[in-house]
Amino acid sequence: MPTSPAQATAGRRGRPGYDQQTVLTIAVDVFNRHGYEATSMGVLAENLGISKSAIYHHVPSKGDLLRLALDHALGGLEAVLTQAEATSGPADARLEFVLRGTIAVLTDRLPFVTLLLRLRGNTEVEREALERRRTFDHQVAALVDAARAEGSLRGDIDPRTTTRLLFGTINSLVEWYKPGGTLTADKLADDVITMVFNGLHRP
């Protein structure tokens, strides 16, 4: 699991002893604070407390840092869909499992998922990541459709509205959820699932 920026920098500023994961963790924090396009290698070097040449020891370019970060976010999300609980059983149970897994990835890899959700598609790396994200979204939407077809979800709400509200609710967590607070990741998932399914299950 990636360390936090504070952990990564504690006692190490100005020293060249970083590994790639530490560089990546701090880079993601800087990308989220300043924006990917506005962040130069010089800005990254300043935040790391090392020279630009030391960064190049770990990655060839800023784009490679972005690719690694997005792979970390997307890999976690995509892995949820490969679990047995996501591929067999009633559609509403599979949907609940995938939503809980998505929330778990989001809370565990919050800075990385935040970066993913803020992409604008201005580079090839971003466009590839956005395509992977669309594929993930479509698979979740297919579960919503399957649950509606099985009769476990109410059918009087437009399916596109249902899907957009699901994604909107979960994606909004990156804007306000703070790990380490009184609201644990498990309780957050319970609350989201309760709210979603109490509104979607047939009365």
Check whether 39 has a pLDDT greater than 60. Answer: yes
Domain termination residue (choose one: 28, 59, 90): 59
Same domain, 85 and 182: yes
Instruction: Name the pLDDT band for 42 (thresholds 50, 70, 90).
Output: very high
Q: How far out from the chain centre does Cα 53 lie?
A: 30
Domains in the chain, number: 2
How many whole angstroms separate alpha carbon 131 and alpha carbon 87?
A: 22
Same domain, 33 and 105: no
The CA distances from residue 43 to 12, 16, 24, 116, 178, in Å, are: 17, 16, 14, 20, 26
Check whether 2 has a pLDDT greater than 90. Answer: no
Check whether 15 has a pLDDT greater than 80. Answer: no
Instruction: Name the pLDDT band for 199 (thresholds 50, 70, 90).
Output: low
Same domain, 133 and 195: yes
Instruction: Find the domain containing 110 and state its range.
Output: 66-200
Same domain, 29 and 78: no
Q: What is the pLDDT of residues 96-111, one digit of tens each?
A: 999 999 999 999 999 9
pTM of the model: 0.85
pLDDT at 149: 92
Same domain, 41 and 74: no
Same domain, 41 and 70: no
Secondary structure class of 84 (helix, strand, coil) = helix
Same domain, 37 and 91: no
Which range has the worst mean pLDDT, 8-17, 33-42, 127-136, 171-180?
8-17
For the chain, the first-to-last Cα distance in angstroms comes to 41
Instruction: Name the pLDDT band for 202 (thresholds 50, 70, 90).
Output: low
Same domain, 43 and 73: no
How many whole angstroms separate alpha carbon 197 and alpha carbon 193?
A: 6
Picking from 14, 88, 83, 74, the residue whose alpha carbon sits closest to that of residue 48 is 14
Same domain, 86 and 134: yes
State the average pLDDT over residues 6-32: 70
Tokens of 78: 């995509």
